Amino acid sequence: MGRSGDQSLETKEIDLRSMSSSSHGQVPQVHKVAVPPRQNLFKEFQDTIKETFFADDPLRPFKDQSKSKKFILGIEAIFPILKWGRSYNLKKFRGDLISGLTIASLCIPQDIGYAKLAHLAPQYGLYSSFVPPLIYAVMGSSRDIAIGPVAVVSLLLGTLLSNEIDPIKNAEEYQRLAFTATFFAGITQATLGVLRLGFLIDFLSHAAIVGFMGGAAITISLQQLKGFLGIKSKMFTTKTDIVSVLHSVIHTAHHGWNWQTIVIGVSFLSFLLVTKYIGKKNKTLFWLPAIAPLISVILSTFFVFITRADKQGVEIVRKIEKGINPSSVKDLYLTGENLGKGFKIGIVAGLIALTEASAIGRTFASMKDYQLDGNKEMVALGAMNVVGSMTSCYVATGSFSRSAVNFMAGCQTAVSNIVMSVVVFLTLEFITPLFKYTPNAILSAIIISAVINLIDYEAAILIWKIDKFDFVACMGAFFGVVFVSVEIGLLIAVSISFAKILLQVTRPRTAILGKIPRTNVYRNIQQYPEASKVPGVLIVRVDSAVYFSNSNYVKERTLRWLMDEEEKVKGEYPTKIQFLIVEMSPVTDIDTSGIQAFQELHKSLEMRGIELVLANPGPVVTDKLYASNFANTIGEDKIFLTVAEAVAYCSPKVVEDP
């Protein structure tokens, strides 16, 4: 077995030598690596800034336009409704009307429940689905996103705010801090959009978001056990971790549960889940799970009213303030210690809301094949939350469940948000007194049924198959939220995402290349086992830019590759390594530390009697190799356009060991 392996190895090397020697009859045409022309420093800096912050070339529509046209385009850029509104017609309105009414029937019961998650009175959830959607409809560019409070942001906001102020003992201060946090959430979002820093939210990886959302869904569901089982607030824990919640539930099992509440909760949760299953199986019945929450609220409220179940211990909403949003400008904390608290909470809530809205907007934009300007979206979301904070709203963003219903109902434009807002306005003006006997159990059931979809186990399985490190990030965020708290889970998600970036930056991949038989192509020998190593030549590829963060590692890893090959020479190979070819096509950039590392590598190789040869450096790298004089140090004749040309240079010079 070992002998046959040695024979195949010898045959492979003999074939390679014969191919090499046969090619020596004709002198191969060697293409010299071109040195790019020197750029003006200011122009180079300008191009870098442009590609970093203006990669989408937002000013292209303004080119070669008159001043009046530029002014109109500028106004349309801020208020997209002025652009698409010109082509709006009755057919589009029909689709927007149906979808707006459908998502309104879904949002009204959800908003009342989500306000409870944020430890706010029910009307504040409805307020947040009245003003913000109107602002977004004027300034937003997504046709499908439905705006309002969402479960994850409500829970996050409620958790962070309650850590600072008790929502029961100091309800007024808590409410003011909520508006302040919303104000700074909007400022954060708008600032990121104006400064075109939207790429910052991409640092929270998809895997981390999947884990965070799944953990938050379980935490939200556990929190609903209080209303679902009829447990009194004073008997239920204020913590969100699974251990504390389950301990609280078990501790109150003998004297804290209410069987009438459980019957209401279980009955309507079953109804909601069944309608959701039917809507999923039959796409034409998408409206059924959309109106099921409102039907549940109406039926359960009527049932409690006629049976007076509230006298039997069934907790009810009792009162929702009638009328539209009162001004809250004077309630904002703009001085004192609560200003700092609101600022910190607002940044966190604003970024999470922005991440969710961006993901939703991109998803539906790709499904309908239209472009979404991420920076404009941030400005629109920020503006609506700033205005919302001044009109008694808390943080609003894009809701995935409502956006999906909006899409399925055939929405055409953001007018569906306006229709939804009008319905919420009518509800606040005329219908809120009817919610007096709505049981808390039905709100808990609605929230549980809404957040179940956030547990995306299929995505987690796919993440495991694709990238194990991503799966660690996913599970870290998940368990952090479930077993500790929402903010700790979020911190773990961000930390692991950054750790992955640092690991990839500081420890780039390297590979040894071999020649694919009967070609001049050189590839990774691990991926292509049939690839032949060139006798006396080691070919290494660096799959990353070489910076101060990884330059020392690249040098040491290359030398370790060399040591490994030299050890093999003693046993398997008859020819010692005399040339090291570094394939540099993946090296997009190199800094002074990288140049220094290559200089040290060159000295180490010289002491071993090995020549350093470079292949296919890019324009930026080539420019810096010549600017640093490193090209002259190794010799300009040792920088080649391709690996094949570098091998052709080295092979005739390889001296076999006796």
E strands along 552-650, which residues? 579-583, 611-615, 639-640
Is residue 507 classed as helix, strand or coil in its secondary structure?
A: coil
Domain boundaries, the chain: 106-212+320-439+451-498, 508-655
Is residue 541 classed as helix, strand or coil in its secondary structure?
A: strand
Q: What is the pLDDT of residue 30?
A: 61
69, 154, 172: which is closest to 118 by C-alpha?
154
Query: Which option is the CATH number for 508-655: 3.30.750.24, 3.30.1330.60, 3.40.50.720, 3.20.20.70?
Result: 3.30.750.24
Q: What is the pLDDT of residue 570?
A: 63
Q: How deeply is 521 buried, as exposed, middle or buried, from its count of CB atoms within 10 A (0-12, 13-18, 19+)?
A: middle
Q: What end-to-end distance do the CA atoms of the chain give, in Å?
A: 27
Q: What is the pLDDT of residue 26?
A: 47
Q: What is the pLDDT of residue 39?
A: 67
Residue 88's alpha-carbon distances to 146, 405, 413, 414, in angstroms, are: 19, 22, 9, 11
Q: What is the pLDDT of residue 17?
A: 43
Q: What is the pLDDT of residue 23?
A: 42
Q: What is the pLDDT of residue 237?
A: 84
pLDDT tens digits, one per residue of 573-583: 556 889 999 99
Q: What residues in the chain have per-residue pLDDT under 50?
A: 1-27, 658
Q: What is the pLDDT of residue 504?
A: 84
Q: What is the pLDDT of residue 55?
A: 65
What is the pTM assigned to this prediction? 0.82
